[in-house]
């Protein structure tokens, strides 16, 4: 199973779009996405400095638009897939924080346009909430989990993100964050984050209310790919539930550690982090240390070929696993069957003649419609058959 990881705010870097603009359609895509978001994403992603792209109102749509464009470039990821027992179950998708909107689009819950528009509203609403009270966030790296939790409570902080790999993000008042940095828990390192406020806490209540007032106008589809939620790492089964969780997540902790645990339980064999990549791939490597999982952070256009190879390999593997044990060749017409002189156990490339059906009007040829091995003849020369009657049984052959 392939995991696709969509990064959130904090993954942005100055000039992060520059290397990608050589790809066909890139410049027009970001101009179009900027028109939807009400911001010049192209300029922000190429010439905007660290302070400019720290602005929550524009950073969130910039990150989501970038991830969606590269997913489209990789092919086969954005949008819904047909609902069958196997369709969409070879890929599991999750995002971190605002990356959940990217994930919702990739799982077919939202259109690309709706995801970008909703992200822009979310970003502006959260920026407004940040302006109400001075707050911030700091990563706590390492330390005993119980001691970290006790230290956060002592300073009036909460764990806004539990990211896995020994990383917790503390959020709350600036004086509490300063006190935490001055006296960190044993064996823990504190890293202040370049964000505008205490995301995923009750400080974002006004943003949650604004977002909740809008989603009722959307008509989400049910996920057609396996979609994990930051709330608890569980799979989301309906579009309505996905939207409800996207709203509630504004004031609730991000449990990316739970998402990583679910992906391991599902048997993920490869993971791709979409740009701006690096942070989530690093968390996965630490959380899955020792596991046989290839983890690729798509950091530049040079990584696209390997990402496509991983997607193609997983698709081929999934298709092979879903092949039936055997297939039946049926008669195309009513008449007398004359089987070809082909021994059971013979490998048959697609198109191999298997005989003919002699009817009153004419002879109708029969051939193998797919590669396989002739397992068993189900008729003998001269037997009468009707259209649709089985003639032979084939074992499908897996392409290498």
**Candidate list 67, 96, 97, 252, residue with the active-site label:** 97
- Using CA atoms, how far apart are residues 264 and 259, in angstroms rounded to an integer? 9
Chain centroid to Cα 16, Å, comes to: 21
Is residue 155 annotated as part of the catalytic site, yes or no? no
Phi, psi of 163 (to 5 degrees): -90, -10
Is residue 28 annotated as part of the catalytic site, yes or no? no
Neighbours of 230 (CB within 10 A): 26
The 188-192 sheet, strands edge to edge: 158-164, 167-173, 135-142, 188-192
Q: Which residues pair with 131 in a beta bridge?
A: none
379: left (phi over 0), alpha (psi -120 to 50) or beta: beta
DSSP 11: -
**Candidate list 96, 138, 151, 200, residue with the active-site label:** 200
Closest by alpha carbon to 48, among 25, 16, 20? Answer: 16
Which runs of consecutive H residues, i.e. helices, occur in the chain?
26-37, 41-46, 56-74, 99-106, 112-132, 145-154, 174-182, 205-212, 239-248, 256-266, 279-287, 304-321
Tokens of 148: 């970290």
Active site residues: 97, 200
């Amino acid at each position: 199973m392939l995991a696709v990881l969509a990064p959130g705010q904090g993954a942005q870097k100055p000039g992060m779009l520059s290397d990608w603009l050589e790809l066909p359609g890139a410049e027009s895509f970001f101009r179009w996405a900027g028109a939807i978001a009400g911001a010049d994403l192209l300029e922000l992603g190429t010439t905007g400095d660290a302070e400019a792209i720290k602005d929550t109102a524009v950073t969130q749509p910039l990150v989501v638009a970038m991830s969606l464009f590269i997913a489209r470039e990789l092919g086969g990821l954005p949008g819904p897939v047909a609902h069958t027992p196997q369709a969409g179950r070879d890929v599991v998708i999750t995002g971190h924080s605002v990356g959940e909107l990217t994930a919702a689009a990739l799982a077919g819950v939202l259109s690309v346009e709706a995801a970008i528009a909703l992200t822009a509203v979310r970003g502006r609403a959260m920026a407004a909430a940040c302006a109400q009270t001075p707050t911030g966030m700091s990563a706590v790296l390492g330390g005993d989990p119980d001691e970290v939790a006790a230290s956060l409570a002592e300073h009036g902080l909460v764990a806004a993100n539990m990211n896995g790999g020994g990383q917790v993000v503390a959020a709350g008042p600036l004086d509490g964050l300063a006190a935490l940095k001055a006296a960190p828990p044993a064996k823990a390192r504190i890293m202040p984050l370049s964000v505008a406020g205490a995301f995923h806490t009750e400080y974002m209540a006004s943003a949650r209310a604004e977002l909740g007032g809008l989603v009722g106008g959307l008509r989400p589809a049910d996920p057609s790919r396996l979609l994990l939620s930051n709330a608890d790492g569980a799979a989301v089964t309906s579009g309505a539930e996905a939207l409800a969780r996207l709203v509630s997540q504004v004031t609730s902790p991000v449990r990316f550690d739970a998402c990583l645990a679910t992906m391991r339980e599902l048997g993920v064999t490869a993971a791709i982090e979409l740009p701006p990549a690096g942070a989530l791939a690093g968390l996965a490597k630490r959380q899955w240390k020792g596991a046989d999982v290839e983890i690729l952070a798509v950091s530049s256009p040079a990584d696209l070929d390997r990402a496509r190879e991983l997607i193609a390999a997983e698709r081929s593997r999934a298709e092979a696993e879903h092949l039936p044990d055997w297939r039946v060749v049926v008669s195309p017409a009513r008449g007398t069957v004359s089987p070809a002189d082909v021994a059971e156990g013979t490998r048959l490339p697609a198109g191999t003649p298997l005989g003919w059906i002699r009817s009153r009007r004419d002879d109708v040829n029969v051939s193998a419609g797919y590669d396989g091995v002739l397992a068993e003849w189900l008729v003998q020369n001269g037997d009468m058959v009707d259209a649709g009657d089985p003639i032979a049984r084939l074992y499908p052959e897996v392409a290498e």
